[in-house]
Amino acid sequence: MRIAHFYVITSLLLSVLSLSACGGGGGDADAGTGAGSNTSIAPSPGYTLGRTTFTINAAVNESIGDQRLQVPVSFVSVPNSATIYGRIRFTSDIFTGAYFEYNYASRSLDLVISVKHPHTLAPNTYSEQADIRLCLDANCNTPLASNQQSITLVYNVTRPTGALNPRLSVSATSLSVDSIDIASETSLFELGITLHNMPFQGALTITPSSGIRSAGFAGEFSFTNMRNLYRLPPPRERGIGTYHETIHIRACIDSSCVNELEGSPVTINVTQRVLNELSLVGGHVMRTVPMYHTELLWDAHSRKFYFLIPADNPADDDMVGSYDPATRMHSTPVPVGQYTQGLAISDDGQFLYAGSRTDGAVYRFNLPGLTPSLTIPMGASANGMSRLYPRVISVVPGAPRTIVVGTSALNGQNDAAVAVFDNAVRRSTLLERSSTTYEPFVDAMCFGPSNGRLFGARSTVFAGPGTSDTAIYEMTLTAAGVQLNETTPNIGYMSHDIGRRLHCTPSRVYSDDSRVFDPTTNVVVNPFPNRIEAPSNITLNQPYGKIFGGGALDSTQIRHALRSYDLHSFLETNVLPLPDGVNSTFQRIGSFGTEGVFFAGHAEFQNSRAWGSHLVMVEGAMFGQ
């Protein structure tokens, strides 16, 4: 007998398959002539099916392949030489294909059937009558007789229960992200998403609201166990307030979402708070105050900040104002002339001095009320060719009415000088810039261990590749004015200007950009060599023996930190990571109170002046230790 050319017909499929013969030709009269012969057929050929009902069981999260169903068959009066043709027909699309193979060992037909994957079907019992016809010819004009011309296929699709049930879980259904208002970026926040009991990839849809953007993954990606990273809009753009966002998640076993996971859909509520006061690690607190300024100082006597406010219109006067961090109150700003440069406070807290480039004068104010008390004209250069203007001001310690001013020429000439003023009277001797050496040119000053010893610095100006004409000057105040004692030239290229400020201790001179000058050896050193985390700007707190500085937190240079160092050994004593997005250059960094450090937030450079948008204050135990 030969079983061949079975036509398998479903609602979706029509196919012809050739199968191996189940017997050979014989020598009897009814043996036929071999494969394909339908002669000498016994009367009333037919067949009987030994089983007509079959059941397939599968869970929705199970992956199953083709199902082989063994259908025992007995042929009646069918010669061994006959070729049998067959058809099977389905009317639904639950069963997507089928074909027969003859099993010689069991003398049965193996029905190989393809069914829809269970994860594409809703849990249910699906039943189908499959019509079967076995024939002696390909067109089935000579069917084999049988009263069993159909089989019943039952497909049970179930959903597991309990711990085996496919389900969605998230690490949190509500998240809160607090940011400081000056930050250019928010901190990344993480959302864990887990698909349980999923042996294959299902369908996952994650829909953040418009204010949330994806920022990749934490750790190695896994479809069933992922740690997604997200970022919210920059706090600096949003401004102080509370903002609400959402992340909507839907998880299904199949792409058409016939079988949704338990726990799906879920909505994660994300709250972003943009604050002007934020708690940091270790009990520290960061506070910001909107304050456009070009100079910023702290006065320990009045316990106030004083700052210069640049005019929006260059034709208008700049202003000087104060801020009390205890009461959180601003004073009424006072006009201080145009294009202000230089700000200094006497060591007794009695006077504040502010210089005006346009006016060529220094204005004195009584503290704490900022009452104008004196105008100090800079006058002309010794040769009378140039009108001078103030660049940097230093008040003589213990002499609040005497100031030393580093000046430049208002009319663009190369004239520059260091002058001493008692009240509004300029002492007779100017320390003028040489027309050949161009020294000195002072734009930063501090007083050394004795009041008569003064150190000055010229900021970086390139003279050629790898060179500069930066210099440190040692000067002495005299009854007639000021004299230059020694110049240390060409102190080398610095990544930042040596600064508008110098800080003097009894044994060393420190620049804002963390360089240190030893007056006994006339050598400038970098106490933080080859360290990306080295502070970009520093300040001193001599009562506590500390250096405070700000710079990169680590080698990625993405986040920033405040650091404290021992004033003498330069060893790091503490690190305070700052919030993401606080990418300050730490201009005008200083210490205030007993446990505070301040600096200019969001500094910009406009009209040849560095502007800060905020006063940033950080207080905590690391600064008082």
pLDDT in tens, 234-292: 998 999 999 999 999 999 988 889 999 999 999 999 999 999 999 998 889 999 999 88
pLDDT exceeds 60 at position 606 = no
Question: Over pLDDT 70: what percentage of the chain?
Answer: 84
The predicted pLDDT at position 241 comes to: 96
The amino acid present at 56, given as its one-letter code, is: I
pLDDT in tens, 27-42: 332 222 233 444 444 4
The amino acid present at 468, given as its one-letter code, is: S
Q: What is the fold of 378-526?
A: Methylamine Dehydrogenase; Chain H (2.130.10)
Question: Tokens 């004009």 identify what position?
Answer: 141
For 383-424, what is the HEC assignment? CCCCEEEEEEEEECCCCCCEEEEEEEECCCCCCEEEEEEECC
The predicted pLDDT at position 378 comes to: 94
The span from the CA of 181 to the CA of 534, in Å, is 26
pLDDT exceeds 60 at position 463 = no
Class of domain 163-275: mainly beta
The span from the CA of 164 to the CA of 195, in Å, is 12
pLDDT in tens, 475-521: 999 999 999 998 887 665 443 444 467 888 888 888 877 778 888 88
Lowest mean pLDDT among 221-235, 278-292, 318-332, 408-422: 408-422
C-alpha triplet 410, 413, 417: angle, nearest 5°: 70
Instruction: Judge whether 163-275 and 378-526 match in fold.
Output: no
Higher per-residue pLDDT: 457 or 615: 615
The predicted pLDDT at position 209 comes to: 96
Higher per-residue pLDDT: 426 or 609: 426
pLDDT in tens, 167-195: 999 999 999 999 999 888 887 899 999 99
Which residues are CB-neighbours of 3 under 8 A, at least 6 positions away? 19, 20, 21, 22, 83, 84, 86, 100, 102, 109
Is residue 607 helix, strand or coil? coil
The amino acid present at 272, given as its one-letter code, is: Q
Strand pairing of 124-135 and 83-89? antiparallel
The span from the CA of 410 to the CA of 407, in Å, is 9
The predicted pLDDT at position 330 comes to: 95
The span from the CA of 313 to the CA of 257, in Å, is 62
- Residue 343: burial class (beta carbons within 10 Å; 0-12, 13-18, 19+): buried
The span from the CA of 415 to the CA of 441, in Å, is 9
The beta strands (E) that lie in 542-608 are given as 546-552, 560-566, 572-577, 590-592, 596-601, 604-606
Class of domain 2-159: mainly beta
Average pLDDT over residues 211-239: 90
Question: Over pLDDT 90: what percentage of the chain?
Answer: 36
Higher per-residue pLDDT: 118 or 376: 376
pLDDT exceeds 50 at position 198 = yes
Work out the pLDDT band at 18, boundaries 50, 70, 90.
very low
Average pLDDT over residues 150-175: 92
Are 433 and 490 in contact by the 8 Å Cβ rule? The answer is no
The predicted pLDDT at position 30 comes to: 29
pLDDT exceeds 60 at position 614 = yes
Token pair recorded at residue 426: 């300029």
Domain chopping of the chain, boundaries: 2-159, 163-275, 277-327+530-625, 378-526
The predicted pLDDT at position 604 comes to: 60
C-alpha to C-alpha distances, 194 to 105, 247, 607, nearest whole angstrom: 48, 15, 54
What mean pLDDT value characterizes the chain?
Answer: 82
The span from the CA of 317 to the CA of 622, in Å, is 40
Counts of helices then strands in the chain (DSSP H, E): 2, 53
Average pLDDT over residues 87-99: 79
Token pair recorded at residue 51: 């089983």
The span from the CA of 171 to the CA of 194, in Å, is 8
The span from the CA of 356 to the CA of 362, in Å, is 6
Are 36 and 89 in contact by the 8 Å Cβ rule? The answer is no
Work out the pLDDT band at 453, boundaries 50, 70, 90.
confident
